[in-house]
Structure 1
Amino acid sequence: MTTGPAMTTGPASDPERLRRWRMLLGAAAGEQFAQPSGADAGADAALAALYDRGDGAPERGGDGGRRRAGNLAASAPRVARWLGDIREHFPSTVVQVMQADAIERLNLTRLLLEPEMLAAVEPDVHLVGTLLSLTGVMPDATKDAARQVVRTVVDDLEKRVAQKTVAAVSGALNRATRIARPRHADIDWDRTIRANLRHYQPELRTVIPERLVGYGRRSTAVQRDVVLCVDQSGSMAASVVYSGVFAAVLASMRSLRTSLVVFDTAVVDLTDQLGDPVEVLFGTQLGGGTDINRALAYGQQLVTRPRDTIFVLISDLYEGGVREQMLRRVAELTAAGVQVITLLALSDEGAPAYDHDNAAALAALGVPAFACTPDAFPDLMAAAIERRDLMAFAARHTGRG
C-alpha cells in the first residue's frame, strides 16, 4: 500500500488534506509529505512518542502502516512531560483516549502509583477504574493524589446525573401515589380536565369528568426500596464508578431506601458509606472472580417489601458460582413481586462481552438484561417505579444484548 499523496481522495495539491495524512501516518509518510511545523510539530511528537516504534517508524500491520505501537519510555518524568504535551495539543476527549492507550499498550500502570504522575493526568471514568484496581498496592504517598483524581471525576458525574435522576424518580413517585377518588381540595384539575376531554358537552360548554385525578399526598415515608448489586470484576470498572455515584444520589432521596452491594467471589455491603461516593468507590476492589449466586443470596436478605422493591443487578453475567441456584434466586425474587433488572453495563461504552446464555435465561424469567447508558438510567428507574414494561424500555432506549 502506498503512503504518498495518491492515498488521498482529492487533489494531491490540497495542503490541508496532505497535512492530515502526514499527521495520521507519522514517520511512515516519508519524504513525500512536508515535515510538520509549529503546533503540528508538537502534536506529531506527542503522537510519535505513543504510537511510533523505537526506531522512529510506525509498526506495520493490517492497518497499512498507520501509527499503532509506541516507544514512550516508561520513566515518570518523561511520561509526565508527555501528559502535559498532549493536554496542550489535543482536546480533553482525545487526551483521555491517548492516556488509556498509553496505560494499556505500554504498561504504564505502575507509574500511576507515583503522585507526580497523578497530578499530570486528565481525570476520567476509566482512569478512576484503573486507580481503584490499584488500591491494594497503592503506597500511602499516592493515596491523597489518587483521592483527588477520584473526587474530581465523581463531582463531575454528580453534576451530570444528579438533577435528572432526582427529577425523574421524584416525578415517578408522585405519579405512583396519585389517588383516583380525591377530596375536592386534592383534585389535580389540569390532569382531570385533560383525562376527560372526550366528555366535553358542547351544549353545556363544559367537561363533565367521569374520572377525577388527585394529587398524591407528599409523604416522608419510604415509598420504594432500591437494591443495587454490582459486579466488581475487572471488566466492570466503568459500571462500578457510575453505580457508586448513582447509589449516592438515590440514597440522598428520603422517599427511597437504597442499598449498595458489590461482589466478586465475596460480598461487601457499602450502604453505610453512601453519604460519600468517593468512600464508596475506595471500598470496592476491582478484579477477581464472580459469584453472582452468593451476591443474590445476600441481596434477598435485604428485601423486606417485595412489591415495593427494585433490585438492579449490574453484571456481565459470567457466573463463577452455581448457575442453577442463581437463576432460581432470580425466579424467587420475581415471584415475590420484586422488580428485577439486569444491566450488562452502566456506562457509555455499550454492552461488553457477556454470557449470552445467562442473559437469555433471565429474559425467559421476565427479567430484562441490557446495557444502559448513564443518561438513560434515571428514566429506567422512573419506569421501574411506575411498573412499566421494562422489556419495552430496553428495546427503545438501549442496545439490547
Structure 2
Amino acid sequence: MNDPASTPDETAIPDTDPVGRATPASERLRRWRLVLGEPAQDACLFVLAGDDLRIDQALTALYDAQDAGGLRGGSGASSPRVARWLGDIRQYFPASVVQVMQKDAFERLDMRRLLLEPEMLAAAQPDVHLVATLISLGRVIPAKTRDTARRVVQKVVDALIDKLEEPLRSAVSGALNRATRNYRPRHAEIDWQRTIRANLRHWQADYHCLIPQTLIGYGRKSRRTQREVILCIDQSGSMAASVVYASIFGAVMASLPAVKTHLVVFDTAVVDLTEQLDDPVDILFGVQLGGGTDINRAVSYCQSLVRDPRNTILVLISDLYEGGVENNLLQRANELVQSGVQMITLLALSDAGAPTYDHRLATRLAALGVPSFACTPDKFPGLMAAAIRREDISLWAARQDIVTVRPGS
C-alpha cells in the first residue's frame, strides 16, 4: 500500500466542486498552506497560484525573510522590492492587517531608513504606528521627504479627528452642563432625578403626588472656563502611540471654550506645547521620542500651572519608569490630591493591549488617591466626562471593565 505522504496526489482532494466553487476541504488546505508557508507545501497537498501565490510571497518576504532573502531595510538595491511589497500587502490584506504587517516590518527588518525616501513613504499605509515611527525620526528626515512625511501624518491626524472628535466633544460638553447646577431651569433643562430627591419631603399622600418647591436643572452652556485639563505626556519611546492619541484629544478639548487645556510633554526636560494645540501635526513633529524620564520635574511644572485646584484635572500619561526623584514625585502628587486636583495616571492611551509599567510606583500613587490604569482611545471621552462630573474614577473604570492598580497590590 502506498504512503500518500510520500507520493502526494494533488487530485486526492479536488480544489473545486462540479460548479467551480472551492470545496470546504480545499479551502482548509489553502488556509493552512498560507499560514504554515512553503515548508508545508507537501503536507498540505495544495499548490498556490495567482493572488494566493502573491499573498504567500508577501508573507514569506516578511516572516521568513532570513530563509528567503526577503525584505532588507536600509539598502538602496532593495527599495524597489520594498515598494512592491508595500503595494502588495495593501492590495491583498485589509487595512488592520496591513498596519500590523508594516509595524512588524519596521521592527523585524529595520526598515526605518527606507522611510526617509519619499517613494517608500508614499507607498506605506498611513496609521498610528507609522506616525509614531515618523515622529521618532523627525530630527533626521531629509528635506526631500519632509513634505511627504507631513502629508502622511496629516492624513492620520484627520482620520483620528473624524473618529474621535464628536464623542469627546459630546461627552465633555454634556458633563460640563450636568456638573453645573441651575436653580431656575427651563422645562427642558430640569434634572428630574435630583429635583425629585430634593423635594421628597413635599410628597402629598392624599393626592399621590409630589409638589416640587425647588427645581434643579442642568447648567446652561457657558463660554467661561469651567474646568482646566492638564495633559502631561511621557515622551519615552514606548509611549509613542499614546503621544499621538493624547495630542489629538488635547487639540479637540482646546477647541471647547469651557475647557482650558494645557499640553505638556517631557523626558528629562519639560516642554509646554499648549500654544500649538490648534495644529496637532505641529505638536507631533515637536515631540522628541526617546531619552530619559523625569516625571517629578514634569509634575512640578504642571503643579505650577494649577490656578483653581477644585476645577483642575491632571492626566499623567506615563509608564511610570521614573528617572528622577521618586519620593519628591510622590510628595507632589499628594499635595495635588490634597489641594483638590483630580489626578489620574494613564499607563497607556492606545489599542496596544496591556502595557509594561512600574507596578511599585503605580501602587504607591494609588495609595495617595491617584488611580492608574491603561485606557483605549474609545474610552477616553467617557473618562474625561467622569472626571468633569467628579465621579470616583476607580468606580468608573470598574464599570468599564478596566483593571486599575490597587494600593499594596
Specify if TM > 0.5.
yes
SS of aligned partner of 1:29: helix
2:340 aligned residue: 337
Equivalents in 1 of 2:65, 2:135: separation in Å? 31
Aligned residue pair count = 377
Equivalents in 2 of 1:12, 1:203: separation in Å? 83
Given that 2:132 and 2:240 are in contact with CA atoms closer than 8 Å, whether structure 1 keeps it comes out as: yes
1:283-306: CA deviation from partner (whole Å, max 9, x where unpaired): 101111100001011111110111
2:49 aligned residue: 37
1:360 aligned residue: 363
Q: Give the Å deviation of 1:12.
A: 7.6
1:232-268: CA deviation from partner (whole Å, max 9, x where unpaired): 1000000000000000000000001100000000100
SS of aligned partner of 2:96: helix
- 1:273 aligned onto 2:284: no
Given that 2:190 and 2:215 are in contact with CA atoms closer than 8 Å, whether structure 1 keeps it comes out as: no
**2:72 partner letter:** A
Q: Percent identity?
A: 59
Equivalents in 2 of 1:393, 1:371: separation in Å? 13
- Stretch moving more, 210-219 or 316-325: 210-219
Q: What does 1:383-394 correspond to in 2, within 5 Å? A: 383-394=386-397
1:399 to 391, 397, 403: 403
Equivalents in 1 of 2:244, 2:188: separation in Å? 40
Q: Give the Å deviation of 1:205.
A: 6.1
Given that 1:226 and 1:259 are in contact with CA atoms closer than 8 Å, whether structure 2 keeps it comes out as: yes
2:146 to 134, 143, 148: 143
Equivalents in 2 of 1:254, 1:190: separation in Å? 24
**1:216 partner letter:** G
1:25 aligned residue: 36
Equivalents in 1 of 2:276, 2:369: separation in Å? 32
2:26 aligned residue: 15
Equivalents in 1 of 2:42, 2:337: separation in Å? 67
Equivalents in 2 of 1:29, 1:261: separation in Å? 52
Q: TM (normalized to structure 2)?
A: 0.87
The alpha-carbon distance between structure 1 residues 359 and 54, as it changes in their structure 2 partners (threshold 3 A), is closer
1:242 aligned residue: 245
**1:42 partner letter:** R
**2:222 partner letter:** S
2:329 aligned residue: 326
SS of aligned partner of 1:321: coil
Given that 2:189 and 2:218 are in contact with CA atoms closer than 8 Å, whether structure 1 keeps it comes out as: no
1:91-140: CA deviation from partner (whole Å, max 9, x where unpaired): 11111111111111011111111101110000100110010000111111
Q: Give the Å deviation of 1:188.
A: 5.1
Q: Give the Å deviation of 1:186.
A: 4.1
Q: Give the Å deviation of 1:400.
A: 3.0
1:180-208: CA deviation from partner (whole Å, max 9, x where unpaired): xx23x646575337853977757536432
The alpha-carbon distance between structure 1 residues 53 and 216, as it changes in their structure 2 partners (threshold 3 A), is closer
Given that 1:317 and 1:355 are in contact with CA atoms closer than 8 Å, whether structure 2 keeps it comes out as: yes
Equivalents in 2 of 1:149, 1:294: separation in Å? 33
Q: What does 1:227-238 correspond to in 2, within 5 Å? A: 227-238=230-241
SS of aligned partner of 2:346: strand
